[in-house]
Amino acid sequence: MARYVAGRLAGLVVLLLLVCVFTYLIFFKLSPDPALMICGKTCTPDRVAQIRASLGLDRPFLTQLGDYLSGLVAGRDYGSGPNLVHCPAPCLGYSFQSSQSVTQMIVDRLPVSATVAVGAAVLWLIVGIAAGLLSAVKEGSWWDRAAMGLALGGASIPNYVLALTLQYVLVVKLQILPFPSAVPFSEDPLLWFQSYLMPWLVLATGYACLYARLTRANVIDTLAQNFMRTARSKGLSPALTMRRHALRPALTPIVTIFGMDFAALLGGALITETVFGLNGIGKMAADSIAKNDQPVIMAVTLLAAFFVMAGNVVVDLLYTGLDPRVRVS
Amino acid sequence: MTTAAPSHEAMADPLAGAGDAPATEGRRIARALLRDRGAVLSTVFLGLVVLMAICAPLISAVTGHGPNDFDPAAVDTNLGGLPRGSFGGVSADHLLGVEPQNGRDILARIAYGARVSFLIAISATVLTTLLGVVLGLLAGFYQGWVDQVISRIMDFLMAFPALIFMIAILSSLPTGDRSVLLVTVITVFGWPYLARVVRGQTLTLVNREFVEAARASGASTGAIVFKEILPNLRNSLIVMTTLAVPGYIGTEAGLSFLGVGVTPPTPSWGQMISSAVSWYATDPMYFAVPGLFLFLTVLSLTVLGDRIRAASDAGEAS
């Protein structure tokens, strides 16, 4: 088991390294010169060269990449002499735009993205699994048809369309919710809840529909298995067969998918955060891309890739616990 | 529907291992779809949208409004450029209303936008399917190091935060044909999802008796791949491609919505929704029309894909 975990973690590090090199290469080769953008309209070649040097963009690709990686692991120093700035261990550099530490920017915004992700996940898990279970138990009933029809519809709405529709109906027309703003829970719990309610609903809708369909399909599959017939013929009540025998095999695959979806969301819900103006990782990504703020884009890409891959590893480990058939010795 | 085409495939495929002959299989699925109200409605709606896209110049000629023609008479400059009349300026002249400020006809822009959306989504689907099938087959058929290389590339691409990356790449490439760039980027990040399924199915098919029989009877590698394995992948390929099209329409619209897709004045549904964001409180129709078209198109394609899957699954079970 320990060897398996170690192997997976090593794989994770290698993949992250690849993502890092690949992303760095793309920005190094493709994107327009950030020094030109910072310099603006009244620009002289001397000034551009000066900015390039101060950002460290004049050095060869491999040196830049090497510095970036070592900064990530051990921290690095910027500038020289009296202007020396030390950037401690997980150093992701400084924003070209605001000169803020990128690590600090992420630490500041992660709570917003996490709040959006956790709230939405709770909502879609409860609604999706409950609706799917009910549909599976009452397969073919009017409830089943209505729920599954609704699930197809809900999964087809692009989330920005849903976001704008909700905002128009709930905020502009009915005026039962305020415009979302990222208020901390400790300041005003009610406003906090009202602010995050729409982002939660928007994000949860698509996933809830997907999970309802998955749960239904898995439970129906499981109910048709031989061991379920055995359980029923032993005289167990339908509720008990469901609880003791059907749920575990039916819901294990959901755990896998949930782990991946949730991990991806922690890296920022780009569209939802942008539409509602919530200052999370997703909005930071959109803003940094619009301003060609390369250190920030690099950091968000790495962070999101890290969450996806780490989620993958965690899910596989959980899976070995949940499903005895794939347990590694 | 397509009842003639599958019978030709049946002739070319005498060794097929599946119990059902493809001709009856294709016809059975078509019949099941014709009996399903949702599938028929979806097909009718999609037919209309495709017709609208093809006839976009004709629509413009009939109404007299091109997709980029300004109509200052249709908007009220005293109200900051809001369309005159109710429901976003709907009138006999402008059937779906006009854009605020410049008065461009929304019907014309929807029709021309449909061309862009469909063209990008279908090109991306064709390319991802091609790449996915070829690479998935190679990995599943040859296994060993070929499989190792292809699978690692797939892991790598699927671990990427695709949306962030697509936006980053698209925004750092300001020149060139945006549609081609969009298709390329969607394809690069899209093919592994299809290839993974193809690889998995090929892995199980390669060891089946009918493939062994073909190999023992001296069939060439090409014959085994094209006559034994590919026909058995057809059902899942049909389902996956029908479900890929709405996905890519959504992706294109999303990227255009975020401002890195097709550039103005070329219309696209996502871009129309994006420019409607600042007007949604005062002119909700401007946002509702492209939003509704996008939603109904994605829904129709999803329903159709779902029903095809149900029909082909039912065939396998019997």
* A77 sits in which H/E element: strand A76-78
How confident is the model over A286-309, as a mean pLDDT? 84
Kind of pairing between the strands at B82-83 and B75-76: antiparallel
Q: Distance from CA of residue B276 to its chain's centroid?
A: 24
Residue B88 Rama label (left phi>0; alpha psi -120 to 50; beta):
left
Q: How many residues does chain A have?
A: 329
User: How far is it, in rounded angstroms, from Cα B132 to Cα A222?
Assistant: 31
CATH number of A104-322: 1.10.3720.10
What are the C-alpha distances in Å from B168 to residues A183, A220, A286?
Answer: 29, 42, 9
User: How far is it, in rounded angstroms, from Cα A326 to Cα A329?
Assistant: 9
DSSP state of A101: B
- The tokens for A242 are 């469901």
- The tokens for B229 are 């394995």
User: Is the Cβ pair A15, B164 closer than 8 Å?
Assistant: no
User: How far is it, in rounded angstroms, from Cα B173 to Cα B167?
Assistant: 10
User: Is the Cβ pair B295, A297 closer than 8 Å?
Assistant: no
A192 or A126, which is more confident: A126
Among B104, B73, B133, CA closest to B271: B104
Q: Which residues contact A284 (CB under 8 A, 6 or more apart)?
A: A105, A106, A109, A268, A296, A300
Residue A84 Rama label (left phi>0; alpha psi -120 to 50; beta):
beta
User: How far is it, in rounded angstroms, from Cα B74 to Cα A234?
Assistant: 75
User: Is the Cβ pair B165, A23 closer than 8 Å?
Assistant: yes
Helix pair angle (A102-137, A142-156), 10° resolution: 160
Residue A278 Cα, gap to closest chain B Cα (Å): 16
pLDDT grade, residue A326 (50/70/90)? low
- State the span(s) of chain A assigned CATH 1.10.3720.10: 104-322
Q: Is the pLDDT of residue A26 over 90?
A: no
Helix, strand, or coil here: A293?
A: coil
Nearest CB among A15, A168, A290 relative to B156 is that of A15
pLDDT at A233: 83
Q: How many CB pairs under 8 A join A and B?
A: 108
E-strand ranges in B108-252 read none
User: How far is it, in rounded angstroms, from Cα A161 to Cα A167?
Assistant: 10
Q: Which residues on B lie below 8 Å from A155 (Cβ)?
A: 302
User: How far is it, in rounded angstroms, from Cα B268 to Cα B275?
Assistant: 11
Taking only the tens of pLDDT, chain B with its 318 residues reads 333 344 343 444 444 444 445 567 778 888 888 888 888 898 899 899 888 888 878 777 777 777 776 766 666 666 666 666 666 666 666 666 677 767 677 788 888 888 888 888 899 999 999 999 999 998 888 888 888 888 888 888 887 777 777 887 777 776 667 788 888 888 998 899 889 888 888 888 888 888 888 888 888 888 888 888 888 888 788 878 888 888 888 888 888 888 787 877 778 888 888 887 777 777 777 888 888 888 998 899 888 888 888 887 776 655
User: How far is it, in rounded angstroms, from Cα A148 to Cα A215?
Assistant: 11
The β-bridge partners of A78 are A85
- The tokens for B56 are 């976009």
Interface test with A, best of B164, B185, B251, B285 (most A CBs within 10 A): B164
Judge contact between A276 and A198, C-beta under 8 A: yes
Judge contact between B114 and B293, C-beta under 8 A: yes
User: Is the Cβ pair B172, A30 closer than 8 Å?
Assistant: yes
Q: Which residues on A lie below 8 Å from B175 (Cβ)?
A: none
Among B138, B115, B132, B27, CA closest to B67: B115
User: Is the Cβ pair B172, A32 closer than 8 Å?
Assistant: yes
Task: Give the residue from chain B lying closest to A292, CA to CA.
Answer: B172
Nearest CB among A32, A152, A309 relative to B159 is that of A309
User: Is the Cβ pair B287, A292 closer than 8 Å?
Assistant: no
Residue A271 Cα, gap to closest chain B Cα (Å): 8
- The tokens for B191 are 């093919």
pLDDT at B13: 42
Judge contact between A79 and A85, C-beta under 8 A: yes
Task: Give the residue from chain B lying closest to A313, CA to CA.
Answer: B159
Is the peptide bond between B265 and the residue preceding it cis, with omega within 30 degrees of 0?
yes
Task: Give the residue from chain A lying closest to B156, CA to CA.
Answer: A15
User: How far is it, in rounded angstroms, from Cα A107 to Cα A88?
Assistant: 14
Burial of B102 (0-12, 13-18, 19+ CB in 10 A): middle
Among A195, A261, A294, CA closest to B171: A294
Residues on chain A bordering chain B, Cβ-to-Cβ distance under 8 angstroms: 15, 18-19, 23, 26-27, 30-32, 149, 152-153, 155-158, 160-161, 164-165, 167-168, 172, 264, 267-268, 270-271, 274-275, 285-286, 289-290, 292, 297, 300-301, 304-305, 308-309, 312
User: How far is it, in rounded angstroms, from Cα A153 to Cα A167?
Assistant: 19
Task: Give the residue from chain B lying closest to A168, CA to CA.
Answer: B281
Burial of B209 (0-12, 13-18, 19+ CB in 10 A): exposed
> How large is the ipTM?
0.79
Residues 207-266 of B with CB under 8 A from A: 246, 250, 253-254, 257-260
